[in-house]
Structure 1
Amino acid sequence: MSGTLRNPTIRSGRSFDLGKMNLRQLWIAYLTYPTILLYFTLIVVSVILSAHFFAGWGATLTSILAVMLVYPVVWYSLHRWILHGQWLYKSRWTASLWKRIHFDHHQDPHLLDVLFGAPATTLPTIGAVTIPVGWLIGGWGAAATAFGAGVTITCIYEFFHCIQHLNYKPKAAWIQRMKAWHVLHHFHDEDGNFGITSYVVDRAFGSFYEEARARPRSPSVFNLGYNLEQAKRYPWVMKLTGSPPRDRPDGARPSTRSASRDAA
């Protein structure tokens, strides 16, 4: 496939650079990606289990609605306070986890291989959040429905997440806005706009910003605070990466504070 990029400093093997792909190429990559195929399989299994242990239409629809309401809050909380937290990279036991689930994505925001969450961490999280909700509403049938709804929402999130990093301008105005706000999170100030498809929770917690001029550019937008100084104190992520952390994306202009420091 055209538009591929090999980046051995992050992950060996085949990698797709979303910054060089078009929408058609994304659809092909997305619909054939092993993680997405696994999610599709689990959705089918969830539907079968939901039918077998059918809890009634009321409980089934309520469990879906509950997951739709809970999911954005859980995602926001994990994204802001876990993935953007600094405690995971400070332990040799969790450094590789943090590197895989978020650091690599901010170091190379267009790399498809690390944009998708790893099933080993994503699926247990989805299950821990959705299955108890569904079970409380309508037993095992609703629990299967809730889990399937969570995996379905994850697939939707992942596709729109790809769109936000794709070399493509969406035709719909609402997708354009959504993409612009997520780009700000990756290239201007990472301490805001934690949502993917919805920024309602960001607005509620005061972390939403609409334009770059609303905030100064963050010097840690690309390394999430894991700079050279931190890498010397906590070297495990750097050793796994095989190179020092970069402080900005390729081609990006330095942050105001970084530029001032370099000038000095």
Structure 2
Amino acid sequence: MSKSKPWQNMSSLRTGRSFDLGKMSLPQLWIAYLTYPTILLYFVLIVAAAFGALHFSHSLLTTLIPVPVVIVVYPLAWYMIHRFILHGRWLYRNHWTASLWKRIHFDHHQDPHLLDVLFGSPLNTVPTMGIITMPIGYLICGWSGAFCALSTALVMTCIYEFFHCIQHLAYKPRWKWVARIKQLHVLHHFHDENGNYGITNYVPDRFFGSFYREARDRARSQHVFNLGYDLDEAKRYPWVMNLTGAPPKDRPDGARSSSDNSRTA
């Protein structure tokens, strides 16, 4: 049987609303990633922000100073957002923010392989990037620095998102570093969500004590798939459940319980 081409049967990868990373190869991911509307928008914004930086620039060297600063600050900002906002419980307990929490993180933990919910909505991500990085760049060298900082944040986001996809892909990385960050992120999604908040950078996890290397280092969390939004919480704060149209799952679709496994062993 001939080997299928990366672009063949792309429609079969769709689960109804998203590409299923659990059924994709690396070449198929490249195609999906490089043609995905959110990523294409980021590419356009990177170029636009770079032009903005050059337009306001008086010295190219000075304009580029925000680049290393953002590279250092951005992982820390992502860590804080991921740990204290995305994994916080206050968003789903408010009627006005429940839909936001559902979209930006709950859906991703309920089914980590769906590409549509892996990428954040640009309506949320782009303003967040701007709020975090543009003031830093502006303080360094005015508007040229602000746009340079935003462009850097967008580039880093594209890199983060690609490796995030690989971490949920049915693919064993050949590079040791990529295999390692994939393992750490898989632990976050399938063992204990209260740790390993990084994507490519786990320095903040190490600094703030949320890093763990192996599953044996911690007990398995009961809330790793629902982030604490279990049936009891859904009854008290029903807005996310109403939007989902079903009770929260405590394991992904297709997973079998230990009793199921024992019966088929």
Instruction: Report the TM-score when normalising by structure 2.
Output: 0.91
1:195 aligns with 2:198: yes
Residue of structure 1 in register with 2:225 after alignment: 222
Residue of structure 2 in register with 1:33 after alignment: 36
2:142 is aligned, of 122, 127, 139, to: 139
In 2, distance between residues paired with 1:190 and 1:132?
Answer: 31
Residue of structure 1 in register with 2:74 after alignment: 71
Aligned partner letter, 2:37 = P
Root-mean-square deviation (CA), in Å? Answer: 1.3
Show structure 1 runs of 4+ deviating over 6 A: none
SS of residue matched to 2:220 = coil
Deviations along 1:57-110, one digit per CA (max 9) or x if unpaired, are 332232001100110000000000000000000011000000000000000000
Residue of structure 1 in register with 2:13 after alignment: 4
- C-alpha contact 1:105 1:115 (8 A) present in aligned 2: yes
Q: How does 1:217-256 map to 2 (within 5 A)?
A: 217-252=220-255
Q: CA deviation at 1:173?
A: 0.3
Q: How does 1:121-200 map to 2 (within 5 A)?
A: 121-200=124-203
Residue of structure 2 in register with 1:260 after alignment: none
In 2, distance between residues paired with 1:197 and 1:59?
Answer: 28
Q: CA deviation at 1:252?
A: 4.2
Aligned partner letter, 1:198 = N
- C-alpha contact 2:92 2:98 (8 A) present in aligned 1: yes
- C-alpha contact 1:55 1:139 (8 A) present in aligned 2: no
Q: CA deviation at 1:249?
A: 1.8
Residue of structure 2 in register with 1:49 after alignment: 52
In 2, distance between residues paired with 1:254 and 1:153?
Answer: 38
Aligned partner letter, 1:4 = L
Residue of structure 2 in register with 1:262 after alignment: none
SS of residue matched to 2:227 = coil
2:65 is aligned, of 62, 66, 69, to: 62
Residue of structure 1 in register with 2:120 after alignment: 117
In 1, distance between residues paired with 2:141 and 2:135?
Answer: 10
Q: Percent identity?
A: 66
Q: CA deviation at 1:2?
A: 4.6
Q: CA deviation at 1:254?
A: 5.6
Q: CA deviation at 1:52?
A: 1.2
Residue of structure 1 in register with 2:99 after alignment: 96
Structure 1 pair 181–55 and aligned structure 2 pair: CA distance change class (3 A): farther
Structure 1 pair 61–244 and aligned structure 2 pair: CA distance change class (3 A): same
In 2, distance between residues paired with 1:62 and 1:218?
Answer: 42
Aligned partner letter, 1:24 = P
Residue of structure 2 in register with 1:207 after alignment: 210
- C-alpha contact 1:160 1:196 (8 A) present in aligned 2: yes
- C-alpha contact 1:3 1:21 (8 A) present in aligned 2: no
SS of residue matched to 1:90 = coil
- C-alpha contact 1:130 1:143 (8 A) present in aligned 2: yes
Residue of structure 1 in register with 2:88 after alignment: 85
Residue of structure 1 in register with 2:5 after alignment: none
Stretches of structure 2 lacking an aligned partner (at least 5 in a row): 1-9, 259-265
Aligned partner letter, 2:209 = G
Structure 1 pair 191–101 and aligned structure 2 pair: CA distance change class (3 A): same
- C-alpha contact 2:54 2:60 (8 A) present in aligned 1: no
In 2, distance between residues paired with 1:201 and 1:253?
Answer: 34
SS of residue matched to 1:89 = coil
